[in-house]
Structure 1
Amino acid sequence: MSIRSARPFLAARRRAVAGLSAALLLSAGFALPAHAETVLRVSAIPDEAPTELQRKFAPLGKYLEKELGMKVSFVPVSDYAAVVESLATRKLDLAWLGGFTFVQAKIRTHGTAIPIVQREEDATFTSKFVTADPAIKSLADLKGKTFAFGAPSSTSGSLMPRYFLLQAGINPEKDFKTVAFSGAHDATVAFVAAGKAEAGVLNASVWDKLVESGKVDPAKVHVFATTPTYYDYNWTVRGDLDPAVVKKLTAAFLKLDPKNPEHAEILKLQRASKFIPTKAENYAGIEQAGKAAGLLK
C-alpha cells in the first residue's frame, strides 16, 4: 500500500480510536470536557404540575438558546431528590432549586454545585398558611387539626414553615391530628379546598398566582398566617460546567429587562421582577434549619 493510498485508512483508524477512547472514558466513569457538550440540560424541582413547569420554562428556554448559541433541553424529573441526584451525576447542567434543595445539592456534590442567580423576590421569600375553616385564625388554632405540607424536601412548602411552627411552640407530629404531604404547592391548596386537610402551607408566589388566575377562591380558601422572610429559590449549575457557559448563563439571566416586551413575558412566567446574583452563603440559614429539623447531618 502506497503512502498516498494509506492516508484515508490511517485517518479512519484515528477517528475510530478516538471514538473508542471516548467510549472507554465514559464507561469508566470519566467525564469528557464540558466544552464538548452541545446541549444544555435544564430541570426544575417539581413543586407545581409538570405541564405548568413546561409552560413556564418554554420562553425562557428559547431565550437561553439564543443567548448561549446552543440547544437548551428541559428534562422533567419525578421528584425533588431526582433533581439533586441528576446534578451530582452530570445528567443535568442547570436546575431551578428551592433553598433547601440547593443545600442538599451542595452537600451531595461536596460543595461543587454553584448557585448563580435568584429572583429579587427570593431574598425576602415567605410561605402562606391557608385554610377553608373560618374557626382557624392563628397558628395556635391548628392544634388538633389535619394539616398538609407540600413535598418533604420543599423549602417553602415544608422545611421553613415547620421551622417557624416549632419556634411558635407547635410540633406538627405531636400537635396536629394528621400530617400529609401533597407533593406540590398547588396540590396543597387543592387538598384544603377539597377538605382533605383542614389547613396547609405553600409558598407565597404560587398562592398569589393561583389567586390571580382564578384557580382558587380566596373567599373559600384564605390566608390566616404568613412566615417571616427567608432566602429561597435559585438557578444552580453543576460545578464542572464549562466556565464560559456559566458566565454566559449568568449574564443572560441578569440581562432580562422588564422594559423589554420579550423579557417581560419571561419574567412574568418566572414571577420575577428581575434576577440578581446569589451565592451559597445566602442559604446558610436554611442549612441550619435543616439540621435543627433533623433532615441534615
Structure 2
Amino acid sequence: MKNAGMAVFVLLTAAVLMFAGCAGGEAELGSEENPIVWSFVPSGEMEQVAAGADEIASLLNEETGLFFDTNVATEYAGVIEALAADPPSAHMASLATFSYIKAADMGVAEAALVAVRYGSPTYAGQIIARADSDINSVADLKGKTFGRPDPLSTSGWIVPMLTMKAEGIDYQTDLEEVVDTGSHNNVVTAVYNGEVDAGATFDDARGNVEDDLEDVREVVKVIATSAPIPNDGVQFSPSVPEEIREQIVEALLAIAATDDGQEALSTAYSWNELIRRDDSFYDPFRQTLQRAGMDVDDIQ
C-alpha cells in the first residue's frame, strides 16, 4: 500500500507540474486565448474596412476553427511595426505594394495572396485636382499644396512622387506643403473642398465618396494616371507556422468563392478575388524603384 500510495503521489505531482507548465506558457496560436492578429491599413473609410475585416475573420473561424483578431491601423507604418515587434503583435497583414516591399526587405512579412479587382491583380494610381483650378498637368503642381493618404501609400504617394521627380519637381522644395489625410477617400474630399490644391489616390477613388459628394466627378478631375501597380493582398509574419498559413490561405480561397465571402472582401477592400502570389510578384516594382535611384529605407 505504501508503494501504491507513493506511485499515486508521483503521478499527481507530475500532473500538477504539467498543468502549471501549460498554464504558464503561451496558448497555441489560433486558439481563443491567443488569436491570430490580422492588421489592415486604412485604405477607405476605416469603419467600412473594419466591418469587412470582422466578417472575413468570422468566416475564417467557421472554415478553419482558428480564432482571429482584426484591426485597422491608423497608418501604414504601424502595421509594419506590429509585424516587426518581438514577439509580433500582428501575424497577418494586408499591405499595399510599397509598404509590403519595405516589410519584406526588413524580413518581417512574406507574401501569400494578391487581390484581384475587376479581373486584374494590378491597379493604377491617379493625381487629381479641382476641375476649376489651373492645374492641368504634373508640371503645374509646383508651388501647390498636395494631399496624400499616407507616406507609405504606393498609389497615393510613392508613385506620384516618382512621377513628379520625372517632371523635375522635388516635393521637398517645390511643393508648398504635403498634407497627410489618413485615407484615399480623405484625399478626394480634401481636393473637393479646396483644402489642398491637388492629391493622389488609387484609380478611381472618387467613386468611394460619390454617395456623399454626388458631383465629385465633375468637381474633381484626373490630371495623370500611373502605370500598373501590384494590388494589395495577404501577407504573413515569418513567425506563423507553414501549416497554419496554408490552412488560412486555403480557407480564404474557398471563402472568396462564396457569396458571403465576396461581400465581406468587397466591403473591406473592394477585393473580387484572391490568387496565390509570392514575393517575386513584386520584383518589377522593385526594379522601378531601383531605376529611379530610390531606397525604400529613405522614403518617409
TM-score, normalised to structure 2, is: 0.83
Decide whether the 8 Å contact of 2:97 with 2:229 is kept in 1: no
Post-superposition CA distance 1:166-197 (Å, at most 9, x none): 22333323332322222321221222122121
Match of 2:183 in 1: 184
Residue 224 (structure 2) pairs with residue 225 (structure 1): yes
How far apart in 2 are the matches of 1:245 and 1:114?
14
Are 1:116 and 2:112 counterparts?
yes
Structure 1 unaligned regions, length at least 5: 24-31
Q: Which runs of 5+ in 2 are unaligned?
A: none
Residue number among 79, 83, 87 corresponding to 1:83 in the alignment: 79
- Deviation at 1:4? 4.9
Q: 2:36 aligns with which of 33, 40, 49?
A: 40
* Correspondence for 2:100: 102
Other-structure match for 1:234: 233
Please tell me whether the aligned partners of residues 128 and 222 of structure 2 are also in contact (alpha carbons under 8 angstroms). yes
Q: Deviations over 1:131-187 (max 9, x none)?
A: 114232222222222211221111111111211222233332333232222232122
- Partner residue, 1:29: none
Spell out the pairing of 1:158-173 with structure 2 (5 A cutoff): 158-173=157-172
Match of 2:70 among 47, 56, 74: 74
Aligned-partner Cα distance in 2 for 1:176–1:274: 38
Provide the residue aligned with 1:145 in structure 2.
144
Q: Which amino acid letter does the alignment assign opposite residue 84 of structure 2?
A: A
Partner of residue 53 from structure 1, selected from 39, 44, 49 = 49
The answer on whether the counterparts of 2:189 and 2:209 sit within 8 Å (CA) in structure 1 is: no
How far is 1:33 from its partner?
Answer: 7.0
| CA 1:232–1:244: 2 relative to 1, 3 Å | same
The residue correspondences of 1:140-289 to structure 2 (distance < 5 A) are 140-204=139-203, 206-211=205-210, 213-215=211-213, 217-257=216-256, 260-269=258-267, 270-289=269-288
Structure 1 vs Structure 2 CA RMSD? 2.6
1:3 is aligned, of 6, 25, 35, to 6
C-alpha deviation, 1:224, in angstroms: 2.4
Change in Cα spacing, 1:18 to 1:68, as seen in structure 2 (3 Å) is closer
Q: Secondary structure at the match of 1:296?
A: helix
> In the TM superposition, what whole-angstrom CA distance separates every residue of 1:229-255 from its partner, at most 9, and x where no partner exists?
121312101112121221122112222
- AA matched with 2:12: P
Task: Answer whether contact 2:50 2:71 (CA < 8 A) is retained.
Answer: no
Asked if 2 retains the 8 angstrom alpha-carbon contact of 1:41 and 1:94, the reply is: yes
Write out per-residue CA displacement over residues 96-155 of structure 1, whole angstroms, 9 at most, x where no aligned residue.
Answer: 10111111211222xx52111111236321112111142322222222222112211111
Task: Verify the 8 A CA contact 1:128 1:226 in the aligned structure 2.
Answer: yes
Task: Tell me the percent identity.
Answer: 20
1:15 equivalent in structure 2: 19
- Indicate if the aligned counterparts of 1:116 and 1:250 stay in contact, CA closer than 8 A: yes
Go from structure 1 to structure 2 and tell me whether the alpha carbon gap of 1:149 and 1:237 turns closer, same or farther (over 3 Å shift): same
1:189-248, CA deviations, whole angstroms, 9 ceiling, x for partnerless residues? 22212212111111125433333x444621222222211112131210111212122112
Q: Are the equivalent residues in 1 in contact too, given 2:122–2:230 (CA < 8 A)?
A: yes
SS in 2 for 1:95: strand
Is the CA contact (8 Å cut-off) linking 2:28 and 2:34 kept in structure 1? Answer: no
Aligned partner letter, 2:156: G
**CA spacing shift, 1:273–1:19, aligned 2, 3 Å:** closer
Q: Are 1:125 and 1:231, in contact at CA under 8 Å, matched by a contact in 2?
A: yes
1:267 Cα deviation from its structure 2 partner: 3.6
Mapped to 1, the partners of 2:51 and 2:185 lie a distance apart of 15
Q: How far off is 1:69 after superposition?
A: 1.0
Separation (CA, whole Å) in 1 of partners of 2:189 and 2:89:
33
Where does residue 28 of structure 1 map in the other structure? none
**Separation in 2, partners of 1:33, 1:56:** 26
TM-score relative to the length of structure 1? 0.84
More off after superposition, 276-285 vs 93-102? 276-285
Measured in 2, the distance between the counterparts of 1:129 and 1:278 equals: 28
Q: Counterpart of 2:90 in 1: which secondary structure?
A: coil
Structure 2: how far apart are the matches of 1:120 and 1:101? 18
CA distance in 2 between partners of 1:284 and 1:229 (Å): 13
Structure 1 CA distance for aligned equivalents of residues 256 and 275 of structure 2: 12
Question: Matched residue pairs, number?
Answer: 284
